[in-house]
Amino acid sequence: MGKNGQLRLEITDVSYRPSLSAPIGMDVLDFTELLARGERRGIDLSAPQRPDFHHLIHVAEGTLRHRVDFTDCVVEAGGWLWVSSGQVHQYVPADLTTARGTIVIWQPGFVLAEPPFDQSPLLPTQPHARAALLTLRHLSDEYADLTSLPLDAHLQTLRMLLSVLLLRLSHVRPDPVSSAPADDTFRRYSAALERDFRTSHQVADYAAALGYSPRTLTRATLTATGTTAKQYLDARILLEAKRLLVHTDATAAAVSRTLGFAEPSDFAKFFRKREGHTPLEFRAAARGRG
C-alpha cells in the first residue's frame, strides 16, 4: 500500500506513442525495435504492462513466449497473437532477441474489427497462412511508403489492409462461438461494463441504463461470447481482482474496496465461488508460493 491507503500498482500503464514517422493511430515494428523502444521509455518488457492500444504479433522465425492475463502462450514460427487494448501482458525479452517477427500496434477505433473472444495463439495452415502473410507484407510496405499517396489516402489504405488481415485471421480458428460479428447491444453492454464494473455488479443496472431488458443483454452476450451477461460481468470483475492480487501489494480488503464490494467477506465469497480458492490463496499460488 502507498500513502493514504492507495494501491501501489506494479502494472505499467503504457500509452500509445508511435515513431516520429508513423501515421497517427497505427505503427509497425519488429522485435528489435520493440526492445529499443522499451529501453528508451524505461519499460521492463518482462514486467506486467497494460497498453492502451492493440498488438498483433506475428512470429516469422523462432518461438515467442508470452503471458496474457495469467495465460501462458507460446507463439511458434508462423503464428499470430492478438493482445487487446487494456490486457495485462508480459514478454520474455530473451525470446525477442532470438526470434524474428513483426508487431502491428493500433489505437482502438483505428479499424472497426474487434478482438475475438478466444485470443489464444493462431497457427494458420494453407491457404490462410499464405494470405495472411501476404497481407502483412503489403501492410508493412504501405506503412513504410509515406510519399506515394496523400496522407488521408495513406491512412485509409492502412485501415483497409489491417482490416483485411484481421478478417482473414478471424476465419483461421475452427468452430468460433459465433460467425456473426457482435451486435450493437453487446458492444454497448461491453463498453458500459468496462467503464462501470468496479461500481455496478448487477446486470439489471446495466440493462436499465442502456434501455434493454436483462434477457436482451443475456441473448446478445450469449451470441457474442457463449456466456450469459452475468457470467461475462463476473468474469471481468474476477479478472481485475486477479490482476490486483498478483501484480500489486494490495490487501484483499483493499482489492475488495477497489472493486466495489460492500464488505471484504462478500468479495471473498465471490472470489472463492468462481476460483475455488480464497483471494490470498490464489495470490500465493500465482506467485509461486502455493
pLDDT digits (tens, 9 = 90+) for 6-55: 444 578 899 998 776 667 899 999 999 999 999 999 999 999 999 999 99
How confident is the model at residue 241, as a pLDDT?
Answer: 97
Of the pLDDT bands very low, low, confident and very high (cuts 50, 70, 90), residue 192 is very high
Which pLDDT tens digit goes with each residue over 217-234?
999 999 888 899 999 999
- What is the model's pTM? 0.85
CA–CA dist 286, 97 (Å, integer) = 27
On the question of pLDDT at 66 being above 60, the answer is yes
| Residue where the block lists cell 518482462 | 46
Which pLDDT tens digit goes with each residue over 117-153?
677 899 999 899 999 999 999 999 999 998 899 999 9
Of the pLDDT bands very low, low, confident and very high (cuts 50, 70, 90), residue 175 is low
Residue 87 identity: Q
Per residue, the 3-state secondary structure of 101-151, as one string, reads EEEEEECCCCCCCCCCCCCCCECCCCCHHHHHHHHHHHHHHHHHCCCCCCH
| Residue where the block lists cell 508462423 | 78
How large is the C-alpha radius of gyration of the chain? 20
How confident is the model at residue 3, as a pLDDT?
Answer: 45
How confident is the model at residue 190, as a pLDDT?
Answer: 93
CA–CA dist 19, 28 (Å, integer) = 9
